[in-house]
Structure 1
Amino acid sequence: MKKIVECVPNFSEGRDSGVINAIADAVRATEGCTLLDVDSGYATHRTVYTFVGDPDAVVQGALAAARVARKKIDMTRHRGKHPRFGALDVCPFIPVANVTMDECVAVSKAFARKASQELKVPVFLYEESAAGDYRRRLPDIRQGEYEGLAERLKDPRWKPDFGPAEFVPAWGATATGARNFLIAYNVNILGTPNQAHRIALNLREAGRGEDQPGRLRDVKGMGWFVDEYGMAQVTVNLNNYRVTPIHLLFEEVKREAEALHVAVAGSEIVGIVPLESILMAADYYIEKEGLFLYEERSRIRLVIERMGLNSVAPFVSEKKIIEYIVADPPDEPLAGLSVRRFIEEISARTSAPGGGSASVAIAAIGTALGAMVAKLTQGVRKFETVEPQMQKSIPVLHELTRSLIPMIDADTSAFNDYMEGVRMPRDTPEEQAVRMARMQAGLKTAIQVPMAVMRHGDRAWDALCEVAKYGNPASISDVQVGAKALETGIWGAFQNVVINMADVIDPAFKDEIMTEARAIETRARIKCRQVLEILDNIQTTFLREKR
């Protein structure tokens, strides 16, 4: 599995497009790095870059960006509204996929060591990389900002972790470390910066001091005025969006603003966000307003509208949500074909795709037909009385259909491990034993694909029965075809399990899997018959009423 680390360096330049672009180009030119976002602020005089790569690549990308900043940014002339103490003010590394926090700590230290040696600048470690608790928080390290840095570096307690304990006027200092995913989030206020700051003080964890803590945990924040927007903002960092999610912060700001008789005019996410944080907000508004939304895109759209995420710049999901940005195109050579080409592939003089892939496609068609009829029934005035049943069934059938489609290709590639075992050497007893073990492991892996198809199909029956009972009677034939398709798809997957199990020598595995498979196959026949009986009765009544 590919290791992905996110790096979010913040540079003290938000006005000179030449410098901003040069730093971006340095990241883009680094092999293994993908630049995801560049977010500049004129008033803050700061640009936040977001890029991802493997652990080694992100170190090189951050170094490349820092080299440009060393040549082109002069902190002696810098003025901006955002707290800062260096040209490369802060450079966090965040685990995204298949990477531990400890690995990101090591990445941050590797960057700190190389940057301090090459650029001859002081570098501090913060967050999870900090040497002591008093150096963990960025505001503590950055206290006094650039203007107070020369005096601070004279204090032995604030000796840099890497590099010289000397003031470098053109650069200042840099903080780097490993941390959890941080969401930079601003809520727009049609009021004064003082009012925005007052709201921030009430909400941020530090509050107004130890005696007056704020209400929300893991939140850092302040209020300011952004000239290019013509609005004040409550600007926050959500250090742990699972503790204080974005929608909670937004709703609390609205509450505070109402008490001050000022209006909230939407909000903005700076940089990128995890999909989970957006879907958490969607769940909140869906429950609060009693809505019925099941498609991911619709849920995201709801959040954009309710939180005003388009208020100052377009919120484009493909550019703002990290899972969408880094997602590789689906490896679906079969599922991506046209229906004609897929059938022609099955008919070709090759063993794959064969009955396994066909069975998955047939099962997916079965669940899709059920989903279609439920969606055509839901929201129709004459079927208002069955709305609860449709709202319960639609998400199940919709998601099962989406989950089954990729298995069309998974079935065809399921024998890769087994075939690798077949090709292994077998000249000695030892080689034969290793080969047999690999082949057996490959067979078990291959069997799990049709078993997954059977399990997914089995989960559809209750929802399909509800659609048969309460769905639009004009679509009876669609549900009938769906039920028979689902039964056939499960039966086909079962036959794949049976034929592959013949060569498995592990009796415990055989017993466990075959017991489950037979139960699912038997239940499919029973449930299909049940659906058809329901539909036969409804069809008789429906046709009688039409005469």
Structure 2
Amino acid sequence: MAVDALVECVPNFSEGRDQSIIDAISKSIRDTPGCTLLDVDPGKSTNRTVYTFVGCPKSIVDGAVNAAKTAFKLIDMTKHHGEHPRMGALDVCPFVPIRNATMEDCVNCAKEFGKRISEEIGVPIFLYEEASTQAYRKQLKQIRSGEYEGLEEKLKDPKWAPDFGPAKFVPSYGASVTGARSFLIAYNVNILGTKEQAHRIALNVREAGRSDNEPGRLKFLKGIGWYVDEYKMAQVSMNLDNYLVTPPHMVFEECSKDARELNLGVAGSEIVGLVPLEAILMAADYYIQKENLFIIDESLKVRLAIERLGLSSCSYFDPKKRIIDYMVQEDLAVTQPLASMTLKGFIEILGSRTPAPGGGSASAVIAAMGAGLGAMTGWMTFGKKKFEALDSVMRELIPPLDKAMRDLIPYIDADTNAFNDYIKAMGLPKGPVRDEAMDKALKQAINVPLSTMKIASRCWEPMIKMAHHGNIASKSDLEVGAKSLETGIWGAYRNVTINLKDCKDPKYVESTTAEANAIIENANQSLKKILEILENRKD
């Protein structure tokens, strides 16, 4: 999906058992132009379904409105019963900034949604979180207190006049809460015990604890305990309002600790809806450090986190369908058309009658290959019984080479883009606007290859150590890697210096020239050192 601003909407509907209604709401979202439905997560015990879809601000509001209208027609709250707190057919409808969108954008989405729904179907709408300005009705639990059953009386109190729509009770619908918030992770830990035991753990870990005088251990965490009939086990059901402070793995470990103290078994955990990749990688890094593992490949880190947290214990956790970064990732053919080409295709376009891609893009490729060969030498050493004593050394050397290799790949396209931007600036009418655009584009055309040089230069120290300790059977691979690294740096250096000639900023020229010269000198010396080390090794 290629949109300038991407907003996520995660509406929770009070229906988790009637598949025809669940499907009808899904269809109303799918049929909205500009909306992409990512996930539908129904729960029978909770009698609630969480939908996750994304789109630009206008489309996301249209999708939410269409879904709410469908719920208004099909859901009858007078007959609704379920484990989860609720006050309306569309119970809560948060908008979340995902990419190139601000919290203010999402507040505007919530207000537009509330205004339209109140006008089009005549139901009360409350604002919460960032969209609300009143402290006593800012949190969802404050607004939803009393739930659907207490809503009729609540609406008679002027303090609880809705932000949009009439202050009247609509029995078949109830009321909706909408607002803007940061990414929330709905997370459940499975307990082989009773609802009461799960709730006891929830009281221990949730921020509110048991009372103001007895707060819980984890910040930005809301939680209750319940029993899920279809799973035949209890759950500590939680919302993680700030996963950067309180991530899933921390919650899992704390709940597991309390369960052990109660002599209860823990049978994995469950993420409801989608989860940011960052939260999964944080869990992986925690267990890697805890267990002294050596894993740097992202897919393997994801797999480790899934296994350690038991995320497939209730249903299969497919990272391609449950991690939002993977779901909304733009097609590499759009964002990195050169890097996503076949090697044959890239070489052919490199040799075609076009000025770009040129030497800068080729230099990024060559430098990335050099770093990759250095990492490969490490992998040819790590984990082999013959070199077991070197495992700790390889754990130190492989990650920076692997990272440099991956960091250099985007510069294949960045260099070509910088050249194209400079050509566009040259095509503007002569005048101050053109001069400013050309200066900006020229500096970008210098900074991109300079960045290639900087990233590649980070490889020299681990490459030199690799020459000392790496598997000697990979000697020629490391030699080619070192020469490729030096060649990539030299090629990027030539792009820097040729563009500096046209730069009219003397201070920038002076500082950039000094930096580039230092990098190229270090590359020359480092290559020489690596080749000498390898030539003199006897093992």
Q: Which deviates further from its counterpart, 334-343 or 27-36?
A: 334-343
| Counterpart code for 2:505 | D
SS at match of 1:117: helix
Counterpart of 2:443 in structure 1 is 444
SS at match of 1:478: helix
CA contact (8 A) 1:373 1:472 kept: yes
Q: Distance in 1 between matches of 2:250 and 2:115?
A: 39
Q: 2:364 aligns with which of 360, 367, 386?
A: 360
Q: 1:68 aligns with which of 67, 70, 78?
A: 70
Unmatched 5+ stretches in structure 1: 543-547
Q: Which deviates further from its counterpart, 102-111 or 476-485?
A: 102-111
Deviation of 1:27 (Å):
1.1
Deviation of 1:490 (Å):
0.5
Q: 2:126 aligns with which of 104, 124, 127?
A: 124
| Counterpart code for 1:381 | K
Residues 130-209 of structure 1 aligned to structure 2 (within 5 Å): 130-209=132-211
CA deviations 1:174-228 (Å, max 9, x no partner) are 1111111111001111111111111111211222222322221211111111111
Counterpart of 1:416 in structure 2 is 420
**% identity of equivalent residues:** 56
Counterpart of 1:307 in structure 2 is 309
Matched, 1:109 2:108: no
Matched, 1:97 2:99: yes
Q: Distance in 2 between matches of 1:344 and 1:108?
A: 50
Q: Distance in 1 between matches of 2:133 and 2:160?
A: 11
CA contact (8 A) 2:356 2:419 kept: no
Q: Which deviates further from its counterpart, 22-31 or 346-355?
A: 346-355
What TM-score do the two structures reach when normalised by structure 1? 0.95
CA deviations 1:420-440 (Å, max 9, x no partner) are 1221223xxxx3x43233222
CA contact (8 A) 1:359 1:493 kept: yes
Deviation of 1:246 (Å):
0.7
| Counterpart code for 1:203 | V
CA contact (8 A) 1:130 1:136 kept: yes
| Counterpart code for 1:500 | N
Q: 2:46 aligns with which of 37, 44, 47?
A: 44
CA deviations 1:497-526 (Å, max 9, x no partner) are 111222222212211111111111111001
Q: Distance in 2 between matches of 1:378 and 1:61?
A: 51
Q: Distance in 1 between matches of 2:351 and 2:207?
A: 65
Q: Distance in 1 between matches of 2:455 and 2:54?
A: 34
Unmatched 5+ stretches in structure 2: none
Counterpart of 2:512 in structure 1 is 513
CA contact (8 A) 1:417 1:438 kept: no
Residues 242-257 of structure 1 aligned to structure 2 (within 5 Å): 242-257=244-259
Counterpart of 2:524 in structure 1 is 525
Q: Which deviates further from its counterpart, 48-57 or 257-266?
A: 48-57
Q: Distance in 1 between matches of 2:100 and 2:361?
A: 30
SS at match of 1:536: helix
Residues 363-402 of structure 1 aligned to structure 2 (within 5 Å): 363-402=367-406
SS at match of 1:414: helix
CA contact (8 A) 1:265 1:311 kept: yes
SS at match of 1:377: coil
Question: Using a 3 Å threshold, how does the CA distance of structure 1 residues 120 and 457 change in structure 2: closer, same or farther?
Answer: same
Root mean square deviation of aligned Cα: 1.3
Counterpart of 2:483 in structure 1 is 484
CA contact (8 A) 1:250 1:307 kept: yes
Q: Distance in 2 between matches of 1:364 and 1:283?
A: 25
| Counterpart code for 2:345 | R
Deviation of 1:239 (Å):
1.1
SS at match of 1:415: helix
Counterpart of 1:56 in structure 2 is 58
CA deviations 1:325-364 (Å, max 9, x no partner) are 1110113332233333322222223323222222121111
Deviation of 1:258 (Å):
0.8
Residues 318-337 of structure 1 aligned to structure 2 (within 5 Å): 318-330=320-332, 331-337=335-341
Question: Using a 3 Å threshold, how does the CA distance of structure 1 residues 437 and 144 change in structure 2: closer, same or farther?
Answer: closer
| Counterpart code for 1:510 | V
Q: Distance in 2 between matches of 1:61 and 1:516?
A: 52
Residues 452-491 of structure 1 aligned to structure 2 (within 5 Å): 452-491=451-490
Deviation of 1:103 (Å):
2.4
CA deviations 1:232-255 (Å, max 9, x no partner) are 111111111122111111111111
| Counterpart code for 1:496 | N
Q: Distance in 1 between matches of 2:184 and 2:224?
A: 16
Q: Distance in 2 between matches of 1:81 and 1:26?
A: 26
Question: Using a 3 Å threshold, how does the CA distance of structure 1 residues 332 and 178 change in structure 2: closer, same or farther?
Answer: closer
CA contact (8 A) 2:226 2:234 kept: yes
Q: Distance in 2 between matches of 1:99 and 1:343?
A: 37
Q: Distance in 2 between matches of 1:127 and 1:56?
A: 21
Q: Which deviates further from its counterpart, 150-159 or 63-72?
A: 150-159
Q: Distance in 2 between matches of 1:207 and 1:368?
A: 50
CA contact (8 A) 2:13 2:91 kept: yes
CA contact (8 A) 2:129 2:140 kept: yes
Counterpart of 1:536 in structure 2 is 535
SS at match of 1:185: strand
Q: Distance in 1 between matches of 2:490 and 2:455?
A: 13
Q: Distance in 1 between matches of 2:515 and 2:52?
A: 47
CA deviations 1:452-479 (Å, max 9, x no partner) are 1101110110111111111001111111
CA deviations 1:124-161 (Å, max 9, x no partner) are 11112223111011111111111111111111111111
Deviation of 1:393 (Å):
1.2
Q: Distance in 2 between matches of 1:204 and 1:398?
A: 39
Counterpart of 1:228 in structure 2 is 230
Q: Distance in 1 between matches of 2:413 and 2:184?
A: 36
Aligned length: 535
| Counterpart code for 1:383 | F
CA deviations 1:302-331 (Å, max 9, x no partner) are 111111001011111111111111110113
Q: Distance in 2 between matches of 1:295 and 1:392?
A: 15
Q: Distance in 1 between matches of 2:518 and 2:316?
A: 51
